[in-house]
Amino acid sequence: MIEIAHPDEMFELGKRLGDQFRAGDLVLVNGPLGAGKTLLTQGIGASLGISGITSPTFVISRLHRGKVNLIHVDAYRLLTAENPNLSLDDLDLDSEREGAITVVEWGGSAAARLSEDRLEIYIDRESETRKVSSFGRGSRWEGFML
């Protein structure tokens, strides 16, 4: 676990993480509203030469082109959808995912089904200082540390 005291530090953490990611990686980012999930994703994007990343809350998913493409998903509306038939599977992420890094905000159990190899990042914001922890699943993330 690491502590993040300032938003710039969350962005920098994203950049450091992005430098380690490769096409096909799945990253699930969880935390409460305002925790810094999108800011972390912006840092990941910056490491890939991508700018202008905003939360895809209303469009649910965006594909950003960079050194390695970035698929940015916000599953919040899928979790709270009034339409019970709307799901992550409807986004057809598999068609682009192997050639991109996929970051899913609010990536719970539905997103975990996308790959057995995934990095799960948790941001706790009980105070102004964020606590960020990670858990790697599968051989790709064996021994990974923030």
Looking at the domain assignment, is residue 146 inside a domain? no
Looking at the domain assignment, is residue 143 inside a domain? no
Burial of 102 (0-12, 13-18, 19+ CB in 10 A): buried
Sequential pLDDT tens for the chain (146 residues): 999 999 999 999 999 999 999 999 999 999 999 999 999 999 999 999 999 999 877 667 788 999 999 999 988 766 555 555 455 554 555 556 688 999 999 877 767 777 899 999 999 998 889 999 999 999 999 999 98
Mention every residue, 6+ apart, whose C-beta is less than 8 A from residue 20. Answer: none
Distance from C-alpha of 26 to C-alpha of 21, rounded to nearest angstrom: 9
Tally of residues, the chain: 146
Total domains in the fold of the chain = 1
Q: CA nearest 40: which of 128, 114, 105, 119?
A: 105
* Number of Cβ atoms within 10 Å of the Cβ of 144: 13
Looking at the domain assignment, is residue 144 inside a domain? no
Identify the domain containing residue 86 by its residue range.
2-137
